[in-house]
Chain A
């Protein structure tokens, strides 16, 4: 498999402005704390991603994002494995998005990656090194 295409938040914002769909794979508790303030963001938690990925349209460009870009990279590769040709990973996640001052709601408390192993509830202290 080819490597996943990765874009920085600035490029991601530009692509969204041109019609790309942003998919946030952070868990519900993370999204409740802080989220992308953009119309039409699709939420598919990483822990449900392999069950729900077919909700993602195949006919438009999609950008996968998480907290720091680790889970989203795995999700992007998973989509590629399943035949999605237009999926790209947003590097550095919502943490960098927030640093850039791009539109978001809430307050970002978690500055590290979530763990991609199992359900994330209660595991926010993970450094993300497990994956």
Chain B
């Protein structure tokens, strides 16, 4: 069975919380063996294209799954694994 690579984006303008979310996402992806491509989006215009103002935000396969906070590791795992 072919594994479909998840497209994960971290929206944030480079603040501490945004970096914290990026680190946490990478940690969960590594520990759970999730096939994912992670991209940090720091351009405010690109962030606003998701209609997000309160960062950091987590986007999985084009869907905004959290914003304005850094979810805990267990919640992050759910957010990353959940199907669109």
Contacts and interface: CB of A to CB of B under 8 A. Distances in A.
Interface of A: 1, 46-50, 74-75, 77-78, 81-82, 115-119, 130-131
User: Which of B15, B45, B52, B70 has the largest number of chain A CB atoms within 10 A?
Assistant: B15
Main secondary structure of the interface of B (DSSP, over half): loop
Interface of B: 12-18, 44-45, 48-49, 51-56, 67-70
B44 A47 contact: no
A81 B51 CA distance: 9
A122 to B, nearest CB: 13
A130 B15 contact: yes
A68 B49 CA distance: 25
B54 A50 contact: yes
B48 A118 contact: no
A74 B56 contact: no
26 contacts: A47-B68, A48-B54, A49-B53, A50-B51, A50-B53, A74-B44, A78-B53, A81-B48, A82-B51, A115-B15, A116-B13, A116-B55, A117-B12, A117-B15, A117-B54, A117-B55, A118-B17, A118-B56, A118-B68, A118-B69, A119-B54, A119-B69, A130-B14, A130-B17, A131-B13, A131-B55
Given A74-B44, A118-B70, A47 B54 contact: yes
B18 A117 contact: yes
Given A47-B68, A81-B48, A118-B70, A130 B53 contact: no
A130 to B, nearest CB: 3
Nearest to A80: B48
Contact of B56 (A1, A47, A82, A117): A117
Given A117-B18, A131-B15, A46 B45 contact: no
Given A50-B51, A118-B69, 20 more contacts: A48-B54, A50-B52, A50-B54, A74-B44, A77-B44, A77-B48, A78-B53, A115-B15, A116-B13, A116-B53, A116-B54, A117-B16, A117-B54, A118-B17, A118-B56, A118-B70, A119-B68, A119-B69, A130-B15, A131-B13
